[in-house]
């Protein structure tokens, strides 16, 4: 599909500088722009590329001041970054607009199915499952018995949803992610017997979960991801954990059983949190850190394994890097002290 | 289904205090108990909830002494925790009692299939595979050629079992787990050629493996998980590793090639163990620790990366946290020494 | 199948010592050799096993000098290790030689399919996808719209390839791996809106990727794995990352967005690298290390979290282990200083 600069400016509430008739059919980075593509400039580090880009159209901030002539058509908007994100989304919506129930899918007769859903080949919907309107179930997805999937939610190819799981509206779950597997509970003192896991997982609206994550069902009750939670790839959430609204987990995060995490937290990659803790709202945890105690004060930054205050950690770590010189100083002090001691005698 | 307190007490060998006719249809936590549910009290921290719970029935220890009247029906047993676990298990057995071979599954003609198996939609059983009695193969499971699955084993949706893998009886493997993928061996000195991996994976009886784990086949011989091994989610086991009986791995554990791990070990989350080591029985490793040397003494606790004795690690780590004050002390000592030196002169 | 020592020597350009007529049907380790098997000796630590092995044939280096008589047939070659690897590969090629398009697969009419491909049961090929010659698509694989898979590439059971992904020739991707899922980008400052991810993943020739990895598509442009990259299991690669030729990642590696990694690097298990960095060619990173800054000098070894020069790290870590004794030394120095001070007064 081809769009003119005029059409795009209309969509984005932007104003045009240059040839309004030029058309584009794809998106590009400003430094890799080719004729027929549209790009954007937001990060000042890339300003240099504006003056030489081959992109036919570039979206820029309304406040941006040109310091040289440009050959490309400009569309000025309040925030070039947001406008471009909006464009990406529209592009994606066209691409991801799958519809229809494949004859090669399997949907239990007792399942309740909403309007306009997509159910791809070799996907499976179990007994008494409830699928909302506009839900997209890609090929090879599994939805267990009694599971509930809210309106407009997308489950990419191969997602596995165990029975009794409840997922809200407008969620996106990427391939390979498993929701509702058994929590890890055994009784080593009692012949390693398994503790049956009969709770479920509840995921509220607007949650996105990356690829190959594993979120365990509760032993009793629910493992809960609150509204707006965002997970990167390969994250493990144990039984009975609760993650607060709009909390972000970068890749390879691990949370052990029954921990409750507050709202608006930001956890970098490979963070681990042990079980039965409370983590305050707005907590930030740096990459590879391990949390071994509850965090009660909001908005703190933690680092290290076990983690403590990040500023203090960084200071201690500088000293750690210089430990060899500290040891040499202590060696020298002891030597001097011995000499003084000798003099004293 | 509804069960009366009398029926449940009968199942659990318990004695009733209160209304024996009350019926329940679901399980609940004592702090979240609702009428019609059965709960239990074991952890003394939750004692307070007993006196106000809405649960219709509560299982408690025979030895528990009431300090106030209760409105709920009590069932007294030797161990409330074990009795409740038993109840959970019975509940689960009803729920998970899937049977029958779906017409939408694919089972090779040369495969040998036991009695009373479940083979869900879009599951695949390869050539010459052997499936025991009562095996449950959920939808979209893959079982490669020549694989052997023992009696009463459950493979949840989407498990992938490569060819030649052997799995024992009474095992549970959760969704997304891959067993028998190639070990990671190449010859960087020889044009990065792949070393073909023609061994297999052997999993003994009573093993449970969580979601999205990856267990590589041996180069030659077998990668082995011994009887009763329990794995959490997202664990990586490299080629030719052997894990001893009843050893537990929490989530995101990593073991490199050819390492042998003893019995009854307990590894916390995100533990890493390098290749070609021997780890003694009953070893405990704390979260995020990295093992770089063999452990020969049984029952030790390790911490750190690289790990050493946990008690020593904790002591060193306290000093690490206080390094800034140590450096300041050394600064002060040096200053004083200079002053003394000056006086001496 | 049975092969005689003569046949195998012919394949490997080797020379026979002992009974050339003996036949073998399987491969074994020298310490576990059984009659009818062929083994090899390369690592000098295993030399002792040569003289007692039950293996019918053993491949050894041409230069190896016997110090006692052997009962097994020897095949001498330039490099026993390489010759055995060659044998493993031949064995594997026979085993993995699947052919044919299953009637239970789904291939879109608009897809372009090469010669001699294998498409297993319940595999899915999307619209306008291009599949090269001799490609092996195992059961339950998903290949999205417009994806391109090069000649001789193998996708094991359950691999998920999102739309627009491009994979080169002679690649191997193991089960559960997801290629092309959305990058992890949201705008926390703008109501947590998702940034649409419309780039793709490009994987060049001769790449092998282990099980349950997740490689995200670029926001714009491409996430790229260059020729000869080798990944172990459970690796996460974020959007817009580029990994240079022949770089190796051991299990559980994590790379955040937009980082560029050089050629011939070697990363041990559980390594993390933050976003927007440049990592020089031939960099080595030890297990569990975290890279927080770009590395500009080639061929360096890094350790720690945050990582620095490995030799310095090891030295500092020895001091860390001994911190308690250092603190005691400083205590003693202070005490002595006070005594001196008192004497002065």
SS3 of chain A? CCEEHHHHHHHHCCEEECCCCCEECEECCHHHCCCCEEEEECCHHHHHHHCCCCCCEEEEECCCCCCCCCCCEEEEECCHHHHHHHHHHHHHHHHCCCCEECCCCEECCCCEECCCCEECCCCEECCCCEECCCCEECCCCEECCCCEECCCCEECCCCEECCCCEECCCCEECCCCEEEECCCCEEHHHCCEECCCCCEEEECCCCEECCCCEEECCCCCEEEECCCCEECCCCEECCCCEECCCCEECCCCEECCCCEECCCCEECCCCEECCCCEECCCCEECCCCEECCCECCCCCEEEECCEEEHHHHHHHHHHHHCHHHHHHHHHHHHHHHHHHHHHHC
- Residues 6 or more apart whose CB falls under 8 angstroms from that of C102 comprise B106, C119, C120, C121, C123, C139
> Given B184, B256, B308, which is nearest C210 (Cβ)?
B184
Q: Are residues C329 and C231 in the same domain?
A: no
pLDDT tens per residue across span B203-234: 999 999 999 999 999 998 899 999 999 999 99
Question: Is the confidence at residue A301, as pLDDT, over 70?
Answer: yes
CA distance B146 to B271: 33
Cβ–Cβ below 8 Å for C184 and A320:
no
Q: How many beta carbons lie within 10 A of that of residue B318, not counting itself? A: 12
Burial of B300 (0-12, 13-18, 19+ CB in 10 A): middle
Long-range contact pairs involving B61-68 (C-beta distance under 8 Å, separation at least 24): B62/B15
Place of tokens 């020549």: B146
Give the distance from residue A239's alpha carbon to the nearest chain B alpha carbon, in angstroms.
11
Reading chain C (345 residues) residue by residue, the pLDDT tens digits are 678 999 999 989 999 999 999 998 888 888 888 898 899 998 888 999 999 899 999 999 999 999 999 999 999 999 998 898 888 878 777 777 899 999 999 999 999 999 999 999 999 999 999 999 999 999 999 999 999 999 999 999 999 999 999 999 999 999 999 999 999 999 877 788 888 888 999 999 999 999 999 999 999 889 999 999 999 999 999 999 999 999 999 999 999 999 999 999 999 999 999 999 999 999 999 999 999 999 999 999 999 999 999 999 999 999 999 999 999 999 999 998 888 767 665
Q: Rounded to a whole number, what is the distance in Å from the CA of C90 to chain B's nearest CA?
A: 9
Cα–Cα dist B45/B62, whole Å: 17
**Residues B83, B105 within the same domain:** no
What percentage of chain A exceeds 90 in pLDDT?
Answer: 80
Q: Which of A193, A137, C245 is nearest to B82 (CA)?
A: A193
The residues, any chain, with a CB within 8 Å of residue C103's CB and separated by 6 or more, are: none
pLDDT recorded at residue B244: 98
Domain end among C95, C120, C141: C95
Which backbone phi and psi does A6 adopt, to 5 degrees? -60, -45
Are B324 and A333 an interchain contact pair (Cβ–Cβ within 8 Å)? no
Q: The domain spanning residue A269 has which CATH number?
A: 2.160.10.10
Confidence at B198, pLDDT banded by 50, 70, 90? confident
What is the rounded average pLDDT of the residues A229-255?
98
Does one domain contain both B86 and B172?
no
Same domain, C257 and C227: yes
- Put simply, the chain A residues between 17 and 56 with a CB less than 8 A from any chain B CB are none
How close C269 comes to chain B (CA, Å)?
A: 7
Name the closest residue on chain B to residue A108, using Cα atoms.
B121
Q: What is the mean pLDDT of residues A256-264?
A: 98
Cα separation of B247 and C73, whole Å? 41
Distance (Å, rounded) from C-alpha C113 to C-alpha C103? Answer: 15
Give the pLDDT confidence score for residue C344 in this predicted structure: 62
Using CB atoms, pick whichever of A160, A305, A323 lies closest to residue B176: A160
Last residue of a domain, one of C95, C113, C145: C95
The pLDDT confidence band at residue A26, using thresholds 50, 70 and 90, is confident
Q: Which long-range contacts (CB under 8 A, 24 or more apart) does A14-21 make?
A: A14/A59, A14/A75, A14/A76, A14/A77, A14/A83, A15/A62, A15/A75, A15/A76, A16/A73, A16/A74, A16/A75, A16/A76, A17/A73, A17/A74, A17/A75, A17/A76, A18/A70, A18/A72, A18/A73, A18/A74, A19/A73, A20/A73
So what's the pLDDT on residue A1?
60
| Strands A248-249 and A166-167, sheet pairing | unpaired
- List C-alpha distances in Å: A29 to A38, B134, B235, C199: 8, 56, 38, 10
B210 touches chain A (CB under 8 A): yes
Task: Give the confidence band of B1 by pLDDT, cuts at 50, 70, 90.
Answer: low
Q: What is the pLDDT of residue B84?
A: 85
Compute the residue count for chain C.
345
CB atoms B248 and A308 under 8 Å: no
Is C236 catalytic? The answer is no
| Residue owning tokens 């083979």 | B119
- A163 and A124 in one domain? yes
Chain B residue numbers touching C172 (CB-CB < 8 A): 182, 194
C-alpha distances in Å from residue B158, one per residue of A149, B205, C260 = 19, 21, 34
Q: In whole angstroms, what separates CA B26 from the centre of its chain?
A: 26
In angstroms, the CA A227 to CA A229 distance is: 6
What Cα–Cα distance (Å) separates residue A71 from each residue in A34, A46, A50, A53? 13, 17, 9, 8
Using the Cβ of C86 and the Cβ atoms of chain A, whether some distance falls under 8 Å is answered with no
Query: What are the chain C neighbours of A91 within 8 Å (beta carbons)?
Result: 196, 198
Contacts of C125 (CB under 8 A, 6+ apart): C105, C106, C107, C108, C111, C113, C119, C131, C137, C143
Per CB-CB distance under 8 Å, the chain C contacts of A95 are 163, 198
Rounded Cα gap, residues B48 and A215, in angstroms: 31
Best of C288, C317, C319 to disrupt the B interface (most B CBs within 10 Å) is C288
Measured distance CA(C281)–CA(A179) in Å, rounded = 39
The rounded mean pLDDT for chain A is 94
From CA B232, how far away is CA B218, in angstroms rounded? 21
Chain A residues with CB-CB distance to C122 below 8 A: 121-122, 140
Greatest alpha-carbon pair distance for chain B in Å reads 99
Q: Which residues of A19-37 are buried (b: 16+ CB within 10 A; e: fewer)?
A: eeebbbeebbbbeebeebb
Reference B153, options B114, B123, B181; nearest CA is: B114
Same domain? For C71 and C167 the reply is: no
Residues A106 and A221 in one domain: yes
Q: Check B122 against A144: CB less than 8 A apart.
A: no
Strands C193-194 and C186-187: antiparallel
Examine the domain organization and report whether B162 and B267 are in the same domain.
yes
Rounded distance, CA B66 to CA B69, Å?
7
| Chain A hits for B334, Cβ within 8 Å | 329, 333
The whole-angstrom separation of Cα C264 and Cα B92 is 51
| Contacting partners of chain B (3+ CB pairs under 8 A) | A, C
Q: What is the mean pLDDT of residues B144-173?
A: 97
Tens of pLDDT, residues B85-118: 888 878 777 777 899 999 999 999 999 999 999 9
Instruction: With cut-offs at 50, 70 and 90, classify the pLDDT of residue B196.
Output: confident
Cα R_g (chain B), whole angstroms: 27
Q: Do the bridges between strand B186-187 and strand B193-194 make them parallel or antiparallel, or are there none, so unpaired?
A: antiparallel
Question: Per the residue annotation, which of A239, A252, A276, A319 is the catalytic one?
Answer: A239
CA distance B153 to B168: 7
Read off the pLDDT of each residue in B13-22 and give the average, rounded to a whole number: 94
The Cα–Cα gap between A236 and A223 comes to 12
Min Cα separation C132/chain A (Å): 22
Smallest CA-to-CA distance from A248 within A223, A235, A230, A271 is with A230
Rg of chain C (C-alpha set):
27
CA dist C299 and C288 (Å) reads: 19
pLDDT tens for C132-188 read 999 999 999 999 999 999 999 999 999 999 999 999 999 999 999 999 999 999 987
Answer for the pair B319, C327: CB distance below 8 angstroms, yes or no.
yes
Q: How many Å is the Cα radius of gyration of chain A? A: 27
Residues C117 and C179 in one domain: yes
Q: Which residue in C247, C253, C210 sits closest to C225, CA to CA?
A: C247
Mean pLDDT of A282-300: 98
Q: What angle do CA B123, B128, B134 make, to 5 degrees?
A: 55
The whole-angstrom separation of Cα B61 and Cα B15 is 11
Q: By the 8 A CB rule, do A54 and A71 touch?
A: no
A289 or B28: whose pLDDT is higher?
A289
Predicted local distance difference test score (pLDDT) of residue B92: 75
Peptide bond into C113 cis (omega under 30): no
Contact B176 A326 (CB under 8 A): no
Segment 139-168 of chain B within 8 Å of chain A by CB:
139-140, 156-158
Shared domain check, A18 and A163: no
Chains that touch C (3 or more CB pairs under 8 A): A, B
Interface list for C 291-310 with B (CB within 8 A): 305
- Checking if the pLDDT of A8 tops 60, the result is yes
Tokens of C94: 């026979």
C140 to A140: CB separation less than 8 angstroms, yes or no: yes
- Taking CB atoms and an 8 Å limit, are A288 and C292 in contact across chains? no
Half-sphere exposure of B237 (CA within 13 A, CB side): 36
Q: Does A26 lie in the same domain as A14?
A: yes
Which residue in C32, C287, C327 is closest to B274 by CB distance?
C287
Q: Which residues of B touch A122 (CB under 8 A)?
A: 121-122, 140
Same domain? C289 vs C145: yes
Q: Structurally, how many domains does chain A consist of?
A: 3
In whole numbers, what is the pLDDT of chain B averaged over residues? 94
Q: Minimum mean pLDDT among A118-127, A172-181, C332-341: which range?
A: C332-341
Comparing alpha-carbon positions, the chain B residue that sits nearest to C325 is B316
The CATH number for B8's domain is: 3.40.1390.10
Tokens of A170: 């407008």
Q: What is the pLDDT of residues A159-175, one digit of tens each?
A: 999 999 999 999 999 99
Query: Taking CB atoms and an 8 Å limit, are B246 and A192 in contact across chains?
Result: yes
CB contact under 8 A, B254 and C269: yes
Q: What is the pLDDT of residue C345?
A: 56
pLDDT digits (tens, 9 = 90+) for A32-61: 888 988 999 988 889 999 998 999 999 999
Report the distance separating Cα B170 and Cα B153, nearest Å.
5
Best residue of B177, B272, B314 to probe chain C, by most C CBs closer than 10 Å? B272
Q: C91: buried, middle or exposed (CB in 10 Å: 19+, 13-18, 0-12)?
A: middle
Please check whether residue A270 touches C, CB under 8 A: yes
pLDDT value of position A340: 74
Domain that residue B339 falls in: 315-344
CA neighbor of C159 nearest in space, from C183, C182, C139: C139
How would you classify the pairing of strands A172-173 and A208-209?
parallel
Interface of C with A in 94-113 (CB under 8 A): 106
Q: C76, C17 in Cβ contact below 8 A?
A: yes
How confident is the model at residue B338, as a pLDDT? 85
* Separation in Å, CA of C36 to nearest CA in chain B: 15
Nearest residue on chain A to B28, alpha-carbon basis: A220
CA dihedral B98, B102, B108, B114 (to 10 degrees): 30
| Chain C residues closer than 8 Å to B254 by CB | 251-252, 269-270
**Residue A158: predicted pLDDT:** 98
Q: Which residues of A touch B212 (CB under 8 A)?
A: 176, 178, 212-214, 234
Give C221's contacts in chain A (Cβ within 8 Å).
28-29, 32
Q: What is the pLDDT of residue B344?
A: 62
Q: Which residue from C59, A113, A158, A49 is spatially nearest to B142, judged by alpha carbons?
A: A158
The residues of B assigned a catalytic role are 239
Look at residue A205 and tell me whether its pLDDT is greater than 90: yes
Residues of B in contact with A238 (CB under 8 A): 232, 251
Q: Phi first, then psi: what are they for C48, rounded to 5°? A: -55, -35
């Amino acid at each position: 599909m081809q769009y003119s600069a005029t059409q795009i400016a209309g969509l984005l509430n932007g104003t045009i500088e240059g040839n309004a008739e030029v058309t584009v059919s794809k998106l590009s980075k400003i430094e890799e722009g080719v004729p027929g593509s549209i790009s954007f400039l937001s990060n000042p580090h890339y300003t240099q590329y504006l003056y030489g880009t081959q992109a036919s159209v570039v979206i820029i901030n309304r406040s941006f001041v040109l310091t040289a002539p440009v050959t490309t058509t400009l569309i000025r908007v309040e925030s070039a970054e947001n406008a471009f994100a909006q464009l990406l989304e529209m592009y994606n919506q066209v691409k991801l607009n799958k519809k229809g129930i494949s004859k090669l899918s399997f949907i239990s007769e007792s399942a309740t199915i909403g309007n306009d859903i997509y159910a791809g080949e070799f996907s499976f919907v179990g007994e008494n499952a409830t699928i909302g309107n506009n839900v997209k179930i890609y090929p090879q997805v599994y939805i267990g018995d009694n599971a509930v999937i809210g309106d407009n939610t997308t489950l990419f190819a191969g997602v596995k949803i165990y029975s009794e799981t409840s997922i809200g509206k407008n969620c996106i779950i990427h391939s390979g992610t498993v929701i509702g597997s058994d929590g890890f509970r055994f009784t080593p003192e009692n012949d390693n017997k398994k503790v049956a896991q009969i709770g479920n997982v509840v995921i509220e609206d607007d949650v996105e979960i990356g690829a190959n994550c594993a979120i365990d069902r509760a032993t009793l009750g629910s493992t809960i991801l609150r509204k707006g939670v965002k997970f990167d790839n390969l994250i493990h959430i144990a039984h009975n954990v609760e993650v607060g609204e709009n909390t972000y987990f970068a890749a390879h995060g691990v949370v052990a059983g029954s921990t409750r995490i507050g709202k608006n937290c930001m956890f970098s990659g490979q963070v681990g949190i042990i079980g039965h803790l409370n983590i305050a709202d707005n907590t930030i945890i740096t990459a590879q850190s391990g949390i071994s105690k509850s965090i009660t004060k909001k908005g703190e930054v933690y680092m290290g394994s076990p983690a403590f205050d990040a500023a203090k950690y960084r200071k201690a770590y500088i000293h750690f890097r210089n430990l060899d010189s500290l040891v040499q100083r202590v060696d020298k002090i002891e030597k001097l002290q011995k000499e003084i001691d000798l003099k004293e005698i």
